[in-house]
Amino acid sequence: MPQAIKIVSWDMQDLSSSNGKLLLEYARQAIANHLEGQRAPVVPSALKEILLCRGCFVTLKKQNRLRGCIGTFDDKQPLIDNVRQMAVAAATEDFRFPPVLYSEIAQIKIEISILGELRKMNSIQELKIGKHGIIVSKGGYSGTYLPQVATEQGWTAEKFVQHCACQKAGIPLAEVSEAEVFLYEIQKFSD
């Protein structure tokens, strides 16, 4: 996460399911090519038309268990570039897991979360579990959880913020009430 939270404004136009499928295939090929020491795959012509500059997270699961997840809020480069970079990073740079092996690729399920607009939360009632992802920030510390984390864990809105603040951002529990919380929505594709 960046040290400072930058509020950006994106037009959250939904991508078609066919484009989502192409993004998933492209992410898988990017991982395979990287693990084989090859160049990045050629961008499918249909995806070249997607000129969106959006952040994204790529989540990898193996046998329904997390195997890697890395993302970016960077809105300065095209989504396709962020998808490629985050897919490779999720496979090779998530410090919680050993790097994905080429032999595992066929067993890996990929999920791409395309990030929408960030907005500051003024009241906990604004946070809708399963709909909003969050960024919690205080001082130079920040952390994020995608919307599905709260649902998967069965957390309330308050627990969602607390866990993100303490576990992801490293903010002491006693200081969580002083932190800023930002909300965002996603468009998710998974294979």
pLDDT digits (tens, 9 = 90+) for 68-89: 999 999 888 889 999 999 999 9
Q: Same structural domain for residues 33 and 109?
A: yes
Q: Same structural domain for residues 111 and 133?
A: no
- Residue-range definition of the domain harbouring residue 146: 119-188
Beta bridge partners of 69: 59
Q: Which of 2-6, 52-56, 172-176, 180-184 has the lowest mean pLDDT?
A: 2-6
pTM: 0.86
Domain presence at residue 174: yes
